[in-house]
Amino acid sequence: MQYYPVCKFTEVGFGEGKAVEVEGRQIALFNAGGKLYAIDNRCPHMSAPLHDGSLEGKTIVCRLHFWEFDITTGQSTNQPGQCVKTYPVKIERGVVKVAIEADTQL
């Protein structure tokens, strides 16, 4: 697993999401309570980006048809069995880094 720099911590507003790309993979970053989380930026329903959904606590609500996902686990909270992939995040000297496993690269 390798960490890739994606943006500065200050670029992800409190309670907001941001779209980033890591090795060709579209990822949504979220700042929930000052802690950052990363998930695939693609809703499993009809592929809408999730970064501009509504973040309610640690739940992201897709703006198209309101499927909800826990950004800490990737599990849907209103569509049983549905999920999105989550990625480890760390911050070093103000830079956000997201980890991608070798076998998940495109």
Other Cβ atoms closer than 10 A to 44: 19
Q: Which DSSP symbol is given to 41?
A: S
Specify the stretch interacting with ligand FES by CB under 6 A; choose among 10-18, 24-32, 60-68, 70-78.
Answer: 60-68
* Contact status: 28 vs ligand FES (CB under 6 A): no
Specify the stretch interacting with ligand FES by CB under 6 A; choose among 30-38, 39-47, 80-88, 92-100.
Answer: 39-47
Of the residues 43, 60, 89, 100, which one makes contact with ligand FES according to CB under 6 A: 43
* DSSP conformation letters of 48-91: --STTSEEETTEEE-TTT--EEETTT-BBSSSTT-B--EE-EEE
Q: Where do contacts with ligand FES occur on this chain (CB under 6 A)?
A: 43, 45-46, 48, 62, 64-65, 67
